[in-house]
Structure 1
């Protein structure tokens, strides 16, 4: 009886363990199936919604307007700046010993003739010295006349034997010495008169008085330097500073248009001298452009000069196409691959027709007409050729 009970209990436990193991296995199978289903769903979703999705198209390259400038036959000009000077400025000062200025006869802006007196120095002492020397000349002449008369009388008596030949020789020597003293006195008087003449400050040539640095009552001498400055003939010039490359393109006789700062009036001049040397520091030389007198041309003033240097065949661009930075002027073009290319250029004449490009372009490039400031070398763009009416200035 007891054996049957134990056997029943064991049988029940075995059945329970078996059922529990089966349940766990079923749960694991179900969980594994769910996970597998989720993974499959995710993979399928990625394949359906992501794997086969095409990449978005790249945005189109921005369009820019370009022109092909070609080559144009234009008058070659060189622009420069410089200072105005008198072409030949003559400093006028004391030539003699000087003294107190008695009168000043001219003002700046006065036209004077060659030899005209500009100022007079007081000369009362020198005049008295001249009077004394003039009297000495008269005394010497009287002595010479007396010596000549005595010689003449002696010669009349020598034939009668009253005067010896030796006396004649002595009287001749006396006469010659008296004549020599006359010459000395005259030379001294001439020197004194020349010194008095040098007390008049005179213009060495005809021209325009530029400055006056003396007043009546002022004591002056040679150490005072220039008391007046006179522009010979009133001619002026501008000394235009040019780089050596531009200087080499010019020659004496080339014409230039000069405009003083502060005025719109333009004057025509010609180059009369080109600097024979180049400043090693600035790498520049000077072109001296002579100008006829005009009141608007004031020495010391600043002016611009546009110099004609023949004709040249070169591209010409609208002002909007030419940019500049700390490296200088440049333009952008669009290459065959549609990428932006920078060209450093040297610009020439500016006019209503455009800017002449002296170097840096061949003329067959597709040059960006505008909006270049928003581009960078290497940018991809779509070139669009400008219409003819878009180039009107």
Structure 2
């Protein structure tokens, strides 16, 4: 892809929209409309069917869908939306690779939409960064001003549609074009012609409220109810109605001290951002494997592959030490195991180094991840 990440991050990331024409010369659409419809019919796959009815209102049906739903769409414009397609289709997951200059923990998923002529989901805004890749057909994107929680919305139970959308820019995207939108920008995408497919690579960002609530709840679970305010050096007060500054300082310190442990926060945050959004694709073996079995498989060679629905990340704690986070679980690593963990986080698939079999710590780590369904050893064939 002809794209300079440094310039993009400096000039556009979370600042302004950016249109990238013909990002992939010789672009090949990685998924057919029929394959997308098939995914939408599967249990455990989040999908939605949005129709603009004859009365110009919006109708939404949540999946799993069926052939009957598609047969009933009629002549009105409609859009099919399927979440986390990268978890199920390797060629769609490959679309993430050019965007790895952004940390993996920020990646949400790849949503794929298919729309009939005139189909869309209405003018709206999102609270995340997104790259909109045109895969098939054409789509007209109109982009407006930045919005926030005060922006008026139309009444609707499920769709957050803007009450007053005023576009300021407009582009028609062809296959292989990309439109980047920062959080909050009003936008509306409408299919121009039939067979319009768009791949939306979204990047999640926790809100301050989510972080404060989650971290505080975690800390509360660890606190001892006997750890209470005390004032053994209390002296007679002039006015019993006054809450003294000294008491406020002590109360404030009790709260901030409990929340200020950065090492504990790092461990909690690593688990938070690697917790999968959707259920893992079931890679866990029916019968738990033992370290000796893993060692034998490593000696035989092959590939160590990550479950596409799993989330991997690490926090470095020293020159040769780190904590590996996988699907919300923490694994302390050092030395050769830490180097292995870094490789595992950097690649969705690794050619097995038979030297791993000689490290009981690496074998134990792979064994634990394999039994949880986060990784699997496969043949290179």
Report the TM range for the smaller structure's normalisation: under 0.3
Structure number with higher relative contact order (C-alpha < 8 Å, ≥ 6 residues apart):
1
TM-score of the aligned structures, taking structure 1 as reference length: 0.17
- Name the TM-score, length of structure 2 as normaliser: 0.18
